[in-house]
Structures are given as C-alpha cells and as structure tokens.
A and B are shown apart, each in its own frame.
Chain A
Amino acid sequence: MIPIFRLQLREMVGGRKLWLVAFLLGIPLLLALAAMQVGGLGRVKQRLDEAEAARKDPRSLHEGRQILSSPDGELELLDGLIVLTEDGLTIHYEAQEEDERGEDSRDGRRRQRPRRRDRDYDFGPLGSRWIVDFQNGWLRYAGGLLSIDPDQEIPKKDPNAIANMNAQDDLNWPFIAGTFLFAIYCQAIAVLMALLYAAPLLNTELEAKTLPYLLTRPVPRWQIIVGKYLAIATVLLPFHLASLTGAWFLLEMPGGTDLLGAELAGSVAAVLAYNALFILIGYLIPSRAMVVAVIYIILEAFLSFIPALINRFTITYYIRSIAIGLSDVVDMTDLPEEAEIIIGNASLGSSFLIVGVIIALGLGFASLLAAQREYVVTEKA
C-alpha cells in the first residue's frame, strides 16, 4: 500500500491540479477579507455590535436605529417588517405613506403609484423557524456579501433587519461567521476538491492507460484504493485546514478555539467522507463519474434542507451535527425541535460513527468493484 500511497502523493504534488486546489482555497480567504474590509459580513458585525450595545444601554441607540422588543423577549423589527412570536413568524408589510401629491419630485412628472396595502403572511411554527434559519444561515450572507459599498445607504425599508434578526441570543456573530465558513469549507470546498481528485481517480488511470501496470501486480485491489485515498487526504487536508484557519482570523472571530476546533473537525470529516464517496462513484461509473458527482452534489444540497427523515440520508447533515455538536455557539436545547432537524442534530457519537461508516462503505464497495469488474483500457486514444 505504501508504494501506491507514495505514487499518488507524487502524482498529486507534481500535477497541475494542485494549483487549482490552492486557487480554490485562496478564494474563500479573499472572500473573507473582502467581507470584513469592504462590507457584507463586516457590516453585519458592526450592526451586531451596535445591537449588543443597544441592548445593554438603550440610550446608546443611534437615531433611526431601534430595536423594538416586547417585554417577554419576543422580537419585532423596524418598519414592522418581521414579527417573531411564540405562534410563529409573521411577515408584515405596512402600507407606505404616499407622496402628498403623488408626484415624483425630481422631474415633476406625475406618476401613478401602485397603492400598497397592509399584508400579513403567516407561517406556522415549523415554516417560521425554517425561514429564520435559512435567512440567517444562507441568504443573509449572500445579500451581505453583495452589498460591498460601505458608504452606501442601507435601503430605508429595512435598515436594521439584519442586525436585529441576529441580535437574538442564539443568532450571534460567531454563529453567522461560523456558518459562513462552514458553508464554504465543510460543504462547497470539501466537495469541489473531492471532485478534482477522487471522482476521476480511476478514469485518470484508464485514460492514461496506466491501469494495467497496477492490475497485473500481486497487490490486493483494496490496497490500491486505500493507498490512493490516504494520499488524497494527506495532500488536501493541510491545505484545507490552513485555509480555514486563515479565514477564521481574517473574519476576526471571537477568542477561544472551541468553534474553530468544531469547524476543523467538520472539515476533516467532510473531506474524508466526500473523497471516499466520490471514489466509489468513480468505480461505479468511471467515464461519467464527474457528471454523476456534480448531480449528487446538487441533489444533496437540496435534500439536506428537507426536514424529517430525508436530510438524515445526506452526509451534510452529519457534518453539520459534528460542527454544531462540538461548538458551544448554538444551544440546541433552546431551539425548537423542527430547527434541530434542519440544522443537524444527530448526537456527536453517532455522527462520527456514520461518517466513519460512509468512508468504510465507500472504499469497501469500490474495492469490491475493483476485484469483480473488468476495467479495460480502451483502444481509442
């Protein structure tokens, strides 16, 4: 197994794809830097700090930035936009005051403005929780990252929504930035890098016509697969973990390494699990491995947000459970059950166990296929 491991290591270190790995892992670092420096997440953090200060001392509130909070701790946002109560979430649009003459003051031309009416959208407890989690988990960051001009006025309609939404105890800065990093490293990057090496692992040897050298040697087929798998992990993990740690400090995450440790553990689990799975895909359908792997990635991204049983069949769910289980940022006991299902609430032990089983099954089935199936180098160049 050691010669195979060393060969794969050599092929990877000498190969051009490594630049792509470095590039892929450089992107989130730049994103994190941009987010902190010019807007997006940086602004979110600023708002959070202000909201936290306001909570401690209401007099420190700036004009026009208010948190409307009901006495029992329910949260209401400015402009009456979003109301979160025990019964669930209501999105409430107030009718906007019309211009007195209904006239556009800049060019003086009359314009028919559509009348706005008050509208309420009610979501049940589950739907509400889902929306809040989803907004906090994903859309906020996307929106935040896109508004990169720090001097630009935040639209009047929703000046403090982000800050206020996240001013709840369980939706704090570590949670936001942590989720941002989680989304990028434990999901996007881990999967993309598995796509680079693991999925085409067999097909590369078939296309380069080097496979017969390995198949006609007295080496058990499983050793070929495991040796290569270990080499992939050995090359990818240091890059991955270094990049994540770098982004961590760029995002000025608060002190303490609990959360960083949780994300690092999630990353290791994700890299190991996805690479094993994608090697299996490569042995199942060598010539179409990349396409199938991409379809799998898209499918899993959707399935992992479907509560109840379905998301428990995704790797992401258990990676999330590991990251959340190891961190002290989100107190799972306070969240409603529905939210736990979405976020990933398998116990730490069973999450590690399941990730381990996925790795074993992926490599085991691939080894079985390698021992049973004919993988023939085709004649065409």
Chain B
Amino acid sequence: MTAPLIRTRDLTKLYDVVIGVNDVTLELGTGVIGLLGPNGAGKSTLIKLITGQLKPSAGEIEVFGECPWNNRRVYQRLGYCPEHDAFYDTLTGHQFVSFLGKLSGLGSEAEDRAEAALLRVGAAEYLHRPINAYSRGMRQRTKVAQALVHDPDLLILDEPLTGTDPIGRREMMDLIVELGREGKSLIISSHVLHEVQSMTDEFVMIYGGRILASGHIQEIRDLMDEFPHRIAVRCDRPRALASRLLRDLPVAGLEFDEPKGQIDILTHEPSAFYAGFPTVALEADVGVHEMSSQDDNLQAVFNYLISAR
C-alpha cells in the first residue's frame, strides 16, 4: 500500500474551551472516502485542519507527508469546496473559476481550464452569467468546478450535495464516482448516510470531535445491525396489520400504541421490510395513514453507535 494521503496523530483542535476535534489518530489512503457525522460533530473542523486553514492545538497532521498550514506545496495538489454558499458575486461563473485557477498557478490556460471544469460539473449554459443570478444548485456546481480547475490529486468537498435538486444531486454523485474511478482521491463530508453510501464504501464516522468508526461500510453495518431499525406505522386496524407483518416480513418486535392507532416495528433488515410492506398492507386491506422512521437520519445511527460502546 502506498503512503497514506492524510495522517493524523493525537490531533486535537480547541476553540477556546470548545473542542472541535478531540485526539484523532487517523490514516486515510487514496480513493473516495465519506466523512460522516451529524451537524456539529467536527467534520468541518477536521476538513479545515486538512486544508490548512486551522493549526492543530495539539497533535500532528500531515497531508501528502507535509504539514498543510500555509503550505503552498500542499495547496498545489489540493482542491477544496467549502460548505458555505459564498462567492465573489459580481463575477460570472467562468471568471470566478478562472480567477481561482490563476491563483493555483494556471497561467494563460486558466480560462480554458475553467470552462472545462464548469462543463464537467454541468454548468455550461451559465458560464458567462454573474453568479448572483444563479440558483442554489448552480452555485453548488460552480463551487465544485473551482475545486477541480487545477486538476488536484486530492479533492475535499464539504457537504457538496446540500442545496442541489434531485437531478443535480444525481449528477453530482455520478461526477464524484467518476472522479474516484479516474484515480482521484476525494473526501466527501455529509450528514446524510444514504447519500454517501451510493458514492463510496469507505467511511469515517465522526461524532463529538472523535472518530467513532472508520473503514468499510460493512464494518459499520455490522455494528449497526446489532441495533434494530425502528419504523412507526399509523393505520386503520393495527392488530390485523401486525399479525400479517409478523408472518410475512422480517420483524424483530412490535409495540402497540392503541389510542393513536400506531404500531412501532423493530427490524434488522429495513430494506427487505420496506420492499415487502406495500404488498402486505394491500393483502391485509389496511388503510395506512402514515409511515415514518427516525432511523433514517444519521443522528439515530450515531445514537446506536454511541450506545454500542
């Protein structure tokens, strides 16, 4: 295995008394890596340390074998897409991207490279319009284009999918997968598990400034599988539905809330459950009013993981 791109040892970052990142020791290799954690978990702090915007309070961090703080050799090989929706608004998308390309040392070719980067993220038709007239999704694409323009080895995208519409999201995910196939290394931060799951199998989970788990998705799934998935269903005849569910679907447990007409279902195989549920409900001839699962958000997954420790 080649030397890791990013290596941290006992990395700690304090903001006054608040801990941003707490004693993180980590090695990240090449490929697409999902950095997962709920809001405020320390994802952005870790990313700012990797991109050399912050200095560690304690411990060490190396990117490409060097300390990234104010290090131009590191910046030369790094593309960063910040989480904030921020631009030099008076510029057009093309001007913005070629300006940042020039800062990365692209000379006269900056304009062409900017155009190529914008085409790649699907922002072709907006090339020469001022950014302040862009939709949120277009702005997001432009932000990714500026991270790509100088063809960096390592791309760090902080919440790249927020604000994109469903089609834009799909295209962005495809782009990330494609960049990964081309041999680029990417770190994608997100607080939505299933988004990242479709782009990569490699994860780092961070919570409360600490690394909770890292590695292949299967390892994390195994951890999660010990804790059943909870689904709430509100319907006409809960008991009739419950008996059919117990017979036909992988259900680990049931809890009734009669006055509300609600059943809480516990399952270890949520995908199979969701796939089979409509058929069962139809066959039982039960009117389903509402179906929800708190487990869809990452916070719940993390709650499981934390209680697993």
Contact = CB atoms under 8 A, between A and B. Distances in A.
Do the two shown chains form a genuine complex with each other?
yes
Interface residues of A, number: 26
B82 to A, nearest CB: 5
A371 interface: yes
Interface stretch (A72-80, A123-131, A205-213, A357-365): A205-213
B84 A209 contact: yes
Given A7-B88, A209-B82, A218 B104 contact: yes
Given A208-B86, A217-B103, A218-B75, A371 B70 contact: yes
Interface string B198-238: 00000000000000000000000000000000000000000
B72 A212 contact: no
B129 to A, nearest CB: 15
B70 A213 contact: no
A216 B55 CA distance: 13
Contacts of A10: 88, 90-91
Interface in A198-232: 208-210, 212-221
B88 A220 contact: no
B261 interface: no
A11 interface: yes
Contacts of A371: 70
Contacts of B54: 374, 376
Nearest to B48: A376
B76 interface: yes
A210 B103 contact: no
A218 B72 contact: yes
B70 A217 contact: no
Nearest to A221: B70
A374 B54 CA distance: 6
B302 interface: no
A4 interface: yes
B221 to A, nearest CB: 31
A377 B86 CA distance: 11
A15 interface: yes
**Binding site secondary structure of chain B:** loop
Interface string B73-110: 10110101010111110110000000110111100000
Interface residues of B, number: 28
A6 B102 CA distance: 11
A215 B49 CA distance: 12
A213 B76 contact: no
A218 B99 CA distance: 13
Contact of B72 (A6, A214, A220, A376): A220
- Best-buried of B55, B76, B91, B102 by chain A (most CB within 10 Å): B102
Contacts of B53: 212, 215-216, 374, 376
Contacts of A3: 99, 102-103
B165 to A, nearest CB: 22
Nearest to A381: B84
B55 A219 contact: no
A349 B105 CA distance: 40
A218 to B, nearest CB: 4
A64 interface: no
Contacts of B55: 374
A213 B91 contact: no
Nearest to B95: A10
B82 A213 contact: yes
A217 B70 CA distance: 9
Nearest to B86: A209
Nearest to A3: B102
A210 B87 contact: yes
A212 B55 CA distance: 14
Nearest to A207: B86
B190 interface: no
Nearest to A213: B100
B12 interface: no
A256 interface: no
B78 A216 contact: yes
A3 to B, nearest CB: 4
Contact of A218 (B48, B76, B84, B91): B76
Nearest to A208: B86
B52 interface: yes
Contacts of A216: 51-53, 75, 78, 80
A155 interface: no
A216 B143 CA distance: 13
Interface in A156-211: 208-210
A217 B90 contact: no
A272 to B, nearest CB: 25
B48 A213 contact: no
A7 B72 contact: no
Given A10-B91, A374-B53, A376-B54, A218 B103 contact: yes
Contacts of A108: none
B180 to A, nearest CB: 21
A14 interface: yes
B22 interface: no
14 contacts: A4-B103, A7-B91, A11-B88, A209-B84, A210-B88, A212-B53, A212-B82, A213-B86, A213-B100, A214-B103, A215-B53, A217-B103, A218-B72, A374-B55
Given A209-B84, A212-B53, A218-B73, 6 more contacts: A3-B103, A212-B51, A212-B84, A215-B52, A216-B52, A217-B75
The 7 closest A-B CB pairs, nearest first, are A209-B86, A218-B72, A217-B103, A14-B90, A209-B84, A3-B102, A218-B75
